[in-house]
Structures are given as C-alpha cells and as structure tokens.
C-alpha cells in the first residue's frame, strides 16, 4: 500500500545557510531586510517576509536552503511515499500574520520535488492558527477531499511543525475519519531520530465523545460496540470499564431482559457503584419505580415492576421524538396492565396461562360480565376493546380512570371521527405494515397522544425525571 505524507509546517522546517529562521543573527536578518524594505528595523523581519524573499529570489538563494525535519522521515520511506501534502497557514483577515507559512510551503514543494521526485500539494489553512474549531472544520474538509481520491492509501503524519492547535486538530480529524490501521504518526527528535507515536489518547477522546452522543440517545448497544465490547458477550470474566458496565445495564433494561438485568447488576456490576447508587440495587430486585396516589390493584411485584418500566420506556422514546417506538411501548404498557388486572382481580390468569385462560374467558364472559358485546364471540384473538370491556368490571378508581383515559382513543371498528388515528390502529400499522409515525402525524392525527401520556404518567406515579436520563448521567460521570 502506497503512502501519503501529511504534515503541518512551521518556521523550523527549512534551514538557510545551515540555520533555522529563529537562529539567524541580526546581521544576517539585516542583509535580507535591507533588500526587501527601506525601513531601519532588521529585527522586524517576519518569517512570512523571509520566505517570500526566498521564493522571489529562488535562483540566487536556492543553494542555501535545505529541508529540515521532514527529510529525516522521508529518506527511509522515499520508495513508499507517493505524495506529500503540506498544510500551510495564510491568516487572511487576521491582524497578526507574520508567522504564516504559505511561502515556506512553496519553497518546500520545490525542494522536495527536486530532491525526491515526489509530487507535493500545498494546502492553505485560511483561519486563525489557534482557533481549534475553525482548524477542525478546515482539516475535516481537506482530509475528506484527499480520501475521495486516495481511498486505498495509507497516511503518514509527520508531527513536526505548526502550532499546538494545528497538531492536535489534524490528529483528531485523522482519528475521526480513518481506521487505526490506515495511518501512523511520527515525531522527529532534534537529533534526527524518528519516533512513532501512536495517538492512543486522541482515539480515546474521540471514542468517548461518540459514546457520549450515543448514551444521550440511550443507544447502549452501539456505545458498547464502539468501546470494543459486545452486549451479548459481556461476562463475569471480561470486566469492562465501569461506563461499559453501566451501558450494559441500560442495554438489558431497554430491551426488557429482566432476568439478565438482575443477574448482571448483582454479579457483574462494580460493587462500589451499586453501594453508592441505591436505585441500582432496587432495579436489580425489580422494585417498581412507580409511586401512584391511588391503589393500582396489581399486587404481583413482577407485573407492577414491568408496567412501570413500560411507561419509562414510553417516556424515553417520546422525549427522543421516536414516536413509533413510543406508541409501541405504550401499547405494551396498557396491554400488560389489562392482562395483569384481569388476572389478579377477576382470576383469569392471562399472564402465565394465556392460551387456556383466554379461551375460558371468552367462553364465560357473556354470562358473567356486563358490557360484553355479542360481536366478541367471533374474534379469533382477544382484542384490546374486549380486554377494556372486561376490565371495566374491576371496581377500582385507578382502573376506571385509566380506562377513561385510553378508551376514547381505541378503535372499536367504528368510523374514525375526523382525522383521528387511534392508538391500536397506529400500533398495528407500525408493527405489521412497517409504517413510521412522525411528528407531522402526531400533530395532525394523534394530537391527543402527548396529553394522554402525561395524564397516564401522573396517574401511575411515574417519576418526573426519566429513569434513563438518570442512568445516562451516571454513565457519563464514570467515563
């Protein structure tokens, strides 16, 4: 694989009569200064003016000008380097531009192409050389353009010139755009020795920053993979960093892997984290996050725990504007609640014996319960409207309040009023037809949905702060 040498350059990347620019004596500067100006201040000779002088008088001065630093790296690699790219500064519009390297870049281009017969690109950075944000923007655009035409090349970075901000910005962008095996960084010591410097910390910073964005969106599996682990393969012997351990908690929780969640917190999560974070211990015990003012009527700890988690997930998805997932999660919530309340109060165990108990319920419903329509006898599956009508027979305030909240927005085969899209209809179109519910449809056809969610959260006593936000803050605190 051929190589492309990339380097920022500074005022030590060429020598003149054996000296770098800062080492030139006052008398030597005065000779040059007198040739380019009538002013009486040789100490004011800038590097920009000096290199422009060399370029303008190339035929007379070229024998005194030599490559410095870059040559030490190029000599052992000359057969592998296909091209050299030099980043030079041209502080357009800046009050201070005396250290600009744009003319030095042209000088180096002539020297390298003559001595090594390797083509050189000179790329100008027209911004303040200490402005990290602008530098990152310029490097990103320029490196991406290089990659379009050099998709198979390996990049060699000479960390030899430019401001500290230039050096760090260039390496950060290379870390961001290239895989680790596509580039290498070298530093040339003052004695000419070459030292390879793997940019481990830069990669760590970039990975942490990308992970932070993923965690803020609760994309735990992607964040875990970015860290070099796999959520399905994290075991007791692996012992990943604490932030990855906490991401794994989020992964299990978000995917409703309840048994795995409890085992992971108890067996794998760092003990000090659990000790100092009481809600993690409660989560491992599958303790419900709900604190309702009214008795919910569900006594089974696993069901009340899962009902609360369904609502927490609904809030998460809605906050992320992932409305399709919010609708699916809310549908899981109310279906779980309905089956749980019917199982516990009316003694039809739809939670653990769904097939046999749902058949028994259908067979006995008309004779035992009020509000049961004849049409239900022809249904192959138990429908949500049927469950709502059965649950109406549970004389519990909170139960009736929830049914009053959701029933108006459940389709019962009746004509849709106006543009209203019912929850169960939306759920079926998402789950079975792959339709996406976006913000426009929420505003125009499901504008009741945000209020319905808030009223349900309040009725069930869901904490005001989304539990996933609390977890995400803990993850980022441990990065």
Residue 40 — very low, low, confident or very high, per pLDDT cuts 50/70/90? Answer: low
> What's the confidence (pLDDT) of residue 312?
97
> What's the confidence (pLDDT) of residue 36?
73
Q: Greater confidence, 351 or 375? A: 351
Query: Residue 459 pLDDT > 70, yes or no?
Result: yes
Range of weakest confidence among 29-33, 403-407, 412-416? 412-416
Cα–Cα separations (whole angstroms), residue 199 to 34, 113, 134, 146: 45, 29, 22, 21
Task: Give the whole-angstrom CA distance, residue 48 versus residue 385.
Answer: 80
Structure pTM? 0.69
Helix, strand, coil abundance in the chain, percent, nearest 5: 60, 10, 35
> What's the confidence (pLDDT) of residue 14?
93
Query: Residue 42 pLDDT > 90, yes or no?
Result: no
Q: Greater confidence, 372 or 188? A: 188
Kindly state the average pLDDT of the residues 368-397.
Answer: 82
Give the model confidence (pLDDT) of 188-211 as tens digits: 888 888 888 776 666 777 788 889
Residue 457 — very low, low, confident or very high, per pLDDT cuts 50/70/90? Answer: very high
> What's the confidence (pLDDT) of residue 372?
79
> What's the confidence (pLDDT) of residue 325?
96
Kindly state the average pLDDT of the residues 330-349.
Answer: 94
- Average pLDDT over the chain reads 88
> What's the confidence (pLDDT) of residue 235?
56
> What's the confidence (pLDDT) of residue 39?
54
Query: Residue 477 pLDDT > 90, yes or no?
Result: yes
Range of weakest confidence among 49-53, 296-300, 412-416? 412-416
Kindly state the average pLDDT of the residues 456-465.
Answer: 94
> What's the confidence (pLDDT) of residue 162?
87
Kindly state the average pLDDT of the residues 226-247.
Answer: 80
Contact yes or no for 142/107 (Cβ under 8 A): no
Q: Greater confidence, 418 or 401? A: 401
* CA proximity to 462, closest of 219, 293, 342: 293
Residue 132 — very low, low, confident or very high, per pLDDT cuts 50/70/90? Answer: confident
> What's the confidence (pLDDT) of residue 414?
57
> What's the confidence (pLDDT) of residue 465?
92
Task: Give the whole-angstrom CA distance, residue 475 versus residue 479.
Answer: 7
Give the model confidence (pLDDT) of 242-299 as tens digits: 999 999 999 999 999 999 999 999 998 999 999 999 999 999 999 999 998 888 888 8
SS in 3 state form for 271-331?
Answer: HHHHHHCHHHHHHHCCCCCCCCCCCCCCCCHHHHHHHHHHHHHHHHHHHCCCHHHHHHHHH
């Amino acid at each position: 694989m051929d190589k492309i040498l990339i380097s920022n350059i500074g005022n030590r990347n060429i020598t003149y009569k054996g000296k770098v620019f800062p080492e030139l004596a006052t008398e030597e500067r005065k000779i040059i200064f007198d040739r380019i100006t009538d002013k009486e201040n040789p100490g004011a000779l800038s590097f920009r003016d000096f290199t422009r002088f060399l370029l303008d008088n190339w035929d007379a001065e070229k024998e005194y000008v030599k490559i410095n630093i870059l040559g030490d790296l190029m000599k052992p690699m000359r057969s592998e380097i296909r091209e050299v790219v030099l980043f030079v500064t041209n502080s357009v519009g800046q009050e201070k531009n005396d250290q600009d390297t744009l003319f030095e870049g042209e000088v180096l281009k002539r020297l390298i192409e003559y001595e090594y017969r390797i083509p050189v690109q000179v790329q100008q950075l027209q911004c303040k050389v200490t402005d990290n944000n602008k530098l990152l923007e310029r490097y990103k655009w320029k490196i991406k353009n290089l990659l379009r035409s050099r998709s198979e090349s390996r990049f060699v970075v000479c960390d030899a010139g430019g401001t500290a901000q230039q050096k760090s910005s260039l390496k950060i962008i290379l870390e961001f755009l290239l895989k680790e095996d596509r580039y290498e960084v070298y530093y040339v010591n003052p004695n000419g020795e070459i030292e390879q410097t793997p940019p481990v910390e830069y990669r760590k910073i970039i990975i942490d920053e990308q992970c932070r964005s993923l965690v803020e969106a609760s994309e735990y599996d992607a964040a875990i993979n970015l860290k070099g682990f796999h959520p399905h393969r994290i075991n007791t012997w692996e012992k990943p960093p604490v932030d990855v351990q906490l991401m794994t908690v989020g992964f299990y929780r978000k995917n409703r892997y309840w048994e795995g969640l409890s085992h992971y917190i108890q067996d794998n999560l760092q003990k000090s984290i659990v000790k100092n974070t009481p809600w993690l211990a409660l989560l491992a015990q599958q303790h419900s996050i709900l604190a309702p003012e009214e008795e919910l009527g569900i006594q089974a700890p696993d069901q009340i725990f899962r009902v609360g988690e369904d609502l927490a997930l609904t809030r998460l998805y809605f906050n992320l504007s992932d409305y399709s997932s919010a609708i699916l999660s809310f549908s899981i919530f109310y279906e779980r609640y309905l089956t749980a309340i019917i199982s516990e109060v009316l003694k039809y165990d739809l939670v653990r014996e769904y097939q046999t108990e749902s058949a028994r319920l259908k067979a006995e419903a008309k004779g035992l319960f009020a509000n049961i329509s004849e049409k239900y006898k022809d249904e192959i599956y138990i429908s949500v409207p049927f469950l709502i009508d059965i649950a109406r027979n549970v004389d519990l305030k909170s139960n009736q309040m929830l049914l009053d909240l959701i029933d108006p927005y459940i389709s019962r085969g009746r004509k849709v009023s106006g543009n209203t899209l019912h929850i169960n209809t939306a759920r079926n179109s998402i789950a079975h037809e792959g339709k996406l519910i976006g913000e426009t449809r929420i505003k125009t056809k499901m504008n009741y949905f945000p209020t319905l969610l808030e009223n349900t959260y309040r009725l069930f006593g869901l904490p005001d702060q989304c539990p996933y936000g609390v977890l995400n803050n803990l993850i980022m605190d441990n990065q």
